[in-house]
Chains A and B, each alone.
Chain A
Amino acid sequence: GDSVTQMEGPVTLSEEAFLTINCTYTATGYPSLFWYVQYPGEGLQLLLKATKADDKGSNKGFEATYRKETTSFHLEKGSVQVSDSAVYFCALWMDSSYKLIFGSGTRLLVRP
């Protein structure tokens, strides 16, 4: 079945470091891909998305490119801040499935 695999955490970085969180997927069709973020004490919220191959999603300095050839959607940010500390979830959505399939999440901790 369809699935998402993302790198295990925690990922600990110093402020202003470069961030990459790897995400790969398995799907029988052509999914839309998402990154959701869960800040401490808050609900899950959409960070960015891409709906077709080669699309780049971006928001708040984060970027991810939909790579069909490698079935990947890695999350990157050039310079992380302490406020980026959160759990990041990669997810896929198949049309007419009515459900998001999430990876297991990657905790990011940014130190001052």
Chain B
Amino acid sequence: DAGVTQSPTHLIKTRGQQVTLRCSPKSGHDTVSWYQQALGQGPQFIFQYYEEEERQRGNFPDRFSGHQFPNYSSELNVNALLLGDSALYLCASSPLGRDTGELFFGEGSRLTVL
């Protein structure tokens, strides 16, 4: 049973560019959340998707947007990249109808903005 898978694992962009990160949730999970983890810091909540809708959003600008597909997979898009967007982006999924804080995380996509 595959866990949460993310792609790409590493990528390098320049300021002003746009990036798309992808996530496939664990089998049987319908809810996907995205977190940003800066170097040496704890993960910060970006947003959560459920039933293809953004259900909750953290304190991130509109440059961060997302999407969830009918198969529950998800994308995170970041426009007009800034140096400060360099971080590990984590995708997490949780089981159908269970919002308990028990999240399953992928290994992350490490974004470097030059």
- Give the contacting residue for A99; candidates B3, B48, B105, B107; CB below 8 A: B48
Identify which of residues 68-108 in chain B touch chain A, using a CB-to-CB cut-off of 8 Å. 90, 92, 99-108
CB-nearest residue of chain B to A90: B42
User: A97-B56, A105-B42 known; A91 and B105 CB under 8 Å?
Assistant: no
Chain A neighbourhood of B43, CB < 8 A: 44, 89, 100, 102
Q: Are B105 and A44 in contact (CB under 8 A)?
A: yes
When C-beta atoms are compared, the residue in chain B nearest to A41 turns out to be B107
Taking a contact as CB atoms under 8 Å apart, the answer to whether A99 and B56 are in contact is yes
Which residues of the partner chain B approach A77 to less than 8 Å between Cβ atoms? Answer: none
Known: A44-B90, A99-B48. A49 touches B101 (CB 8 A): yes
Residues of A within 8 A of B90 (CB): 43-44
**B contact residues, total (Cβ < 8 Å):** 27
Contact (Cβ within 8 A) A100 B101: yes
Instruction: Decide yes or no whether B21 CB sits under 8 A from chain A.
Output: no
Q: Are A98 and B55 in contact, CB atoms less than 8 angstroms apart?
A: yes
A20 on the B face (CB < 8 A):
no
Whether a CB of chain B sits under 8 angstroms from the CB of A42 is: yes
CB atoms of B40 and A101 under 8 A apart:
no
CA distance A98 to B92 in the complex (A): 12
| Contact yes or no, B103 A100, CB < 8 A | yes
Known: A34-B101, A44-B105, A93-B100. A102 touches B42 (CB 8 A): yes
In addition to A4-B42, A44-B105, A102-B44, 13 A-B residue pairs with Cβ atoms within 8 Å of each other are: A32-B100, A32-B101, A43-B105, A46-B102, A91-B101, A95-B99, A98-B99, A99-B58, A100-B43, A103-B42, A104-B40, A104-B42, A105-B42
| Sampled A-B contacts (29; CB under 8 Å) | A32-B100, A32-B101, A34-B102, A43-B4, A43-B90, A43-B106, A43-B107, A44-B90, A44-B92, A44-B103, A44-B105, A46-B102, A46-B103, A49-B101, A89-B42, A91-B42, A95-B99, A96-B99, A98-B33, A98-B56, A99-B33, A100-B43, A100-B45, A102-B43, A102-B44, A104-B40, A104-B42, A105-B40, A105-B42
- Using a CB–CB cutoff of 8 Å, the interface residues on chain A facing chain B are 4, 32, 34, 36, 41-46, 49, 51, 89, 91-93, 95-105
